[in-house]
Structure 1
Amino acid sequence: MPQITCLLVPVLLSFILLTRSVIADLRSDLAAANISNVFPGDSGYAKASEPFNLRFDYHPAAITFPSSPQEVSAVVKLGSDHNLNIVPRGGGHSYIANGLGGKNGTLIVDINRFNNIQINPSSNTTIIGAGNRLGDIVQILNQKGRALPHGTCPYVGIAGHTALGGFGFTSRFWGLALDAVIAIDAVLADGKIVKATESIHPDLFWAMRGAAPSFAIITSFEFKTFPVPPHAVVFSYIWQLTYQQASLALLDFQSYALSKPNGPPTHLGGEILLKRGMTRGSVYFELTGAWYGPASDNDGNDAINSTLSAFLSRLPEPVQQSRSGNGSYIDSACVLGGHADLSTSGALESHNTFYAKSIMIPEDQPLLEQASVEFMRRLGSEGFDSEADWYVQIELWGGAESKINSIPIESTAFLRRNTLFTMQLYASSFDTNPPFPKGGFKLLDGLVDTLTSNMPKNWDYGAYTDYIDRRLDNWRTLYYGKNYKRLETIKRQVDPKNIFKFPTSIEL
């Protein structure tokens, strides 16, 4: 009995502001509405409230599992009646556990039961329930020869991924996931069930493509789909470089990305991956990505090597290079996702203990030489000495004719339509379990400071909402910039009581 009491203490303390009567009434109301749920003390609560990032530990007031828009509406109305903040949870992969409210005492609307997928072959559109995971979507659409732009992890949920951006290796020729959305079915803060499109609730539709969790709970999307590429292969080139060589390599890749017309074609998706080098002062440097063009160029040469030759010719011979996949789009998705089978049915959820930051580098203000040198110097010294496991991904977003940057900036709430690279900086424990390594915050903060301090004072960089970071003081500017004021206005209209609230939600 003493052991059980000790286990319950954190949960009980977390609800000091929630009276027993509120919890009891909410439980009774949900039972009367026949809506599945778990509360603190229930047998399934601990598992249901486990975050993806084990650096956080939040205790929701309750977690509900509705299976229809009407049930979502009922949950929202009940939560509002009991003065609770409400958040949706899809795949549950928020870096800062926003899907658990980002604090104790939030009412969670888990949307995983919204897992329908309907494909309309005549219009080449698909309706996808907000509870679906990327891996399942890839498999089902591929059966009809169709696809969407999105990330590579099979277990990421479509809702949050799309609502905040949705970058993947096909994005340079298809756009972000949110750019493929043509309609959204959602439940507002007053419980009203709505459809939002360019012509129906256009302000809401604009806001939902970039900041959706602040405005409504999505139950389904309608997407336009794209024909799967006839050929696809995953490639990788790996070097062990001194920090000076790594700095030059990054600048060379930047020059290649910006060059016209001989830069990367849109059917090349790629990123630079940086990790701890083998010796102090060195950096692991990898160019990896996917090629969705023909296997050979017009002269019969290997198309990937021909396309990348302007960059590869400036580096030493790679210590390792590879091609993966059988040439089909679905196989490339399996390779990128790290799984032979993309189905997420019955799969165990993975967890980690980590911190991540991001920085979006604009095309018209690319990295200066000094910024690259000092950044790589820091990776080769402090990065080598760090107690944290870490990596840096430098994703190629821009370049000639990138679909991401061709979308008019006013079309959606997603602001950064002038991005060359999106850099994700990620530090974690080596065994994925707590505690978070000492010095992890300092390492990543220092790396970002190194970049910003070696760029002009007016450098208009941003940050990516899918790599959300609650430690940013200026997150409103970095994530939303000039769009934030319009988002505030729409928030007042559709959620005047600020029901949908979490640490990085649009504020009133």
Structure 2
Amino acid sequence: MQARTFLLLLQLAGLGRCLLRDDLQAAGVTAFYPGGSGYDAASQTFNRRYTFKPAAVAFPTSSRQVSDAVKAGAVNNLKVVARSGGHNYIANGLGGKDGSLVLDLSQLKKITFDSATNTALIEPGNRLGDIALALNEHGRAIPHGRCTYVGVGGHAAGGGFGFISRMWGLNLDVVKAAEIVLPNGTITTVSSDQNPDLYWGIRGAASSFGIITALTFTTYPVPTSSVIFRYGWVFDIDGATNAFESFQNFVDKGIPAELGGELVITRGPSTGRVGVEFFGAYWGPLSSFNATVAPYLATQPSPTSQTISSGNWLEGLEVLLYGALNTSTAPDPLDTFYAKSIMSPEAEPITKDAARSFFTYLANEGFASNTSWFVEIELYGGSNSAINRVPFDATAFAHRDTRFNFQLYASSSNSAPPYPASGFTFVDGMASSIISEMPHDWDYGAYINYPDDRLQDWERLYYGAHWSRLTALKRSVDPQDVYGFPLSVEE
């Protein structure tokens, strides 16, 4: 009896694939299916810790084809997900599990600049490096992250932090309008005037409500100058704790919006020590740079390493960004890793005890770990931050009071599978070394663009006080949960 049931399920699965294939073919949508040529390459993950098997990976070339593909997925009772650049940390761009219909948006790569409004219409298949190059041709730019291969669709969906965000905001903050495909296949526009509830929701949780097929961005004139800097030290636990405490104080003491960056923590040369780097960008003239960072440097010993590069906007990006600006010139690097995030609120600074606990853990457990790891303490807040000037309820992004976003990241030693079990324990320990020393009601959060599918209480940590409004919107827009994946908004 069990054998016959299993055989029937296999037959039904095969029938489902045939029906999906027929529907996509009828819509003219190119797709790859399990067992077929091209499928393995199409279903490759950025984080090779995951090996999901989608029902199909489709490559639509227009919003109409996206609409037809969404309808095909829904009628075949499949979850449908979009993949922009494919860099989701838990492979949600492949559905986050087996059996989803993946719509790869890499063929939607139009970029159109409107000089009358200084806005840019950008399709989601574009990577950040290519966008920077295209907009620079018009002397314009938008805020975005450092990794050039990241696709703008996913980047804007959940946040989009970069070293210019303190001056211009997150990537989602400059989304003026978007064309999206709803779960029923309807193509619609969202903006402050059209579908304002959806416009609110897509700026912080877009993937749960619609597939973005075009984004209209407000652009800014490129800065006339840039300074990209790195100051490095090797510290013992006391020195690292002081470096962080001094940084936390420094960023609240009148720093200009033009200053952005982070502290980067890496393995030290011996037990009890860590590398600490103050890495950032100053979007102002070199002549005023030294005075801007001097108050922090005065609290630290002389750096053991130091690099300062000045130039125009594009020259600054070439030094700052990770990966080729022209992403067609080199392959997209892959990794095997586990990551978490902690967003610390400005109203509740990291205590000295929590900082010491954190650096004690990194200096000892970090030296012993068999992973390749780093921590980025990204500066969101501080004086004059554009991120935190946006009212809390203006967008679905729930962490407008953030001072730092800690990205806790550990790769396998050679960036290839298998991932060591100890890596999970190590990264979890990074987070708990801070959280356990803060008050039990500490109101910290987590960043949905650094997703962790092992995280407890993720609804609160990722979406905060916006969760109830988001679930109501989900109930209205996607009651069948067509756009469902791990950590998505649930009704």
TM-score (norm 2): 0.97
Q: Could you tell me which residue of structure 1 aligns to residue 3 of structure 2? A: none
Amino acid at match of 1:271: E
CA RMSD of aligned residues (A): 1.4
Moved over 4 A (4+): 15-18
By how many angstroms is 1:16 displaced?
5.2
By how many angstroms is 1:349 displaced?
2.2
Give structure 2 stretches of 5+ with no counterpart. Answer: 1-5
Q: Could you tell me which residue of structure 2 aligns to residue 6 of structure 1? A: none
Judge which range, 265-274 or 16-25, deviates more. Answer: 16-25
SS of residue in 1 equivalent to 2:328: coil
Aligned to 1:267, which of 253, 258, 276?
258
**Alpha carbons 1:388, 1:438 under 8 Å: kept:** no
Q: Could you tell me which residue of structure 2 aligns to residue 99 of structure 1? A: 93
User: Is 2:157 aligned against 1:163?
Assistant: yes
Q: Deviations over 1:168-207 (max 9, x none)?
A: 0010010000000010101000000000001111111100
By how many angstroms is 1:324 displaced?
2.5
**Alpha carbons 1:18, 1:105 under 8 Å: kept:** no
**Alpha carbons 1:172, 1:404 under 8 Å: kept:** yes
Q: Could you tell me which residue of structure 2 aligns to residue 277 of structure 1? A: 268
Aligned to 1:333, which of 317, 324, 327?
317
Matches of 2:119 and 2:11, distance apart in 1: 46
By how many angstroms is 1:130 displaced?
1.0
Q: Could you tell me which residue of structure 1 aligns to residue 298 of structure 2? A: 313
By how many angstroms is 1:17 displaced?
9.1
Aligned to 1:224, which of 210, 218, 221?
218
User: Is 2:426 aligned against 1:447?
Assistant: no
Matches of 2:320 and 2:418, distance apart in 1: 29
Judge which range, 400-409 or 432-441, deviates more. Answer: 432-441
User: Is 2:145 aligned against 1:151?
Assistant: yes
Q: Deviations over 1:87-145 (max 9, x none)?
A: 00000000000000000000011111110000011111000011100000000101111
User: Is 2:351 aligned against 1:360?
Assistant: no
By how many angstroms is 1:304 displaced?
2.5
User: Is 2:170 aligned against 1:207?
Assistant: no
Matches of 2:158 and 2:221, distance apart in 1: 24
SS of residue in 1 equivalent to 2:286: coil
Amino acid at match of 2:298: S
Q: Could you tell me which residue of structure 2 aligns to residue 86 of structure 1? A: 80
By how many angstroms is 1:305 displaced?
2.4
Matches of 2:171 and 2:12, distance apart in 1: 38
Aligned to 2:68, which of 68, 74, 78?
74
Matches of 2:64 and 2:12, distance apart in 1: 26
Matches of 1:370 and 1:17, distance apart in 2: 60
By how many angstroms is 1:19 displaced?
1.4
Q: Could you tell me which residue of structure 2 aligns to residue 3 of structure 1? A: none
Matches of 1:16 and 1:335, distance apart in 2: 53
SS of residue in 1 equivalent to 2:356: helix
User: Is 2:480 aligned against 1:497?
Assistant: yes
Q: Deviations over 1:319-376 (max 9, x none)?
A: 0100135x1111111112245x511125312110000000001111010000001110
Aligned to 1:478, which of 461, 466, 474?
461
Equivalent runs, 1:46-445 vs 2, <5 Å: 46-259=40-253, 261=254, 264-296=255-287, 303-325=288-310, 327-339=311-323, 341-345=324-328, 347-445=330-428
Amino acid at match of 2:441: N
**Alpha carbons 1:258, 1:399 under 8 Å: kept:** yes
Q: Could you tell me which residue of structure 2 aligns to residue 461 of structure 1? A: 444
**Alpha carbons 1:387, 1:438 under 8 Å: kept:** no
By how many angstroms is 1:481 displaced?
1.1
**Alpha carbons 2:227, 2:285 under 8 Å: kept:** no
Matches of 2:325 and 2:207, distance apart in 1: 26
Matches of 1:434 and 1:133, distance apart in 2: 26
SS of residue in 2 equivalent to 1:233: strand
**Alpha carbons 2:82, 2:211 under 8 Å: kept:** yes
Matches of 1:346 and 1:62, distance apart in 2: 28
Give structure 1 stretches of 5+ with no counterpart. Answer: 1-11, 297-302
**Alpha carbons 1:359, 1:464 under 8 Å: kept:** yes
Amino acid at match of 1:321: Q
Taking structure 1 as reference, are residues 506 and 338 closer, same or farther at Cα in structure 2, changes over 3 Å only?
Answer: closer
By how many angstroms is 1:437 displaced?
2.4
Q: Deviations over 1:44-84 (max 9, x none)?
A: 00001010000001000001111111111111111111100
Matches of 1:146 and 1:166, distance apart in 2: 18
Matches of 2:181 and 2:423, distance apart in 1: 39
Amino acid at match of 1:308: V
Matches of 1:487 and 1:405, distance apart in 2: 21
By how many angstroms is 1:18 displaced?
5.7
Matches of 1:476 and 1:22, distance apart in 2: 33
Aligned to 1:36, which of 21, 25, 30?
30
Matches of 1:35 and 1:376, distance apart in 2: 52
SS of residue in 2 equivalent to 1:258: coil
**Alpha carbons 2:354, 2:434 under 8 Å: kept:** yes
Amino acid at match of 1:373: R
**Alpha carbons 1:253, 1:311 under 8 Å: kept:** yes
SS of residue in 1 equivalent to 2:413: coil
By how many angstroms is 1:482 displaced?
1.1
Identity of aligned residues (%): 46
Amino acid at match of 2:273: S
SS of residue in 2 equivalent to 1:499: coil
TM-score (norm 1): 0.94
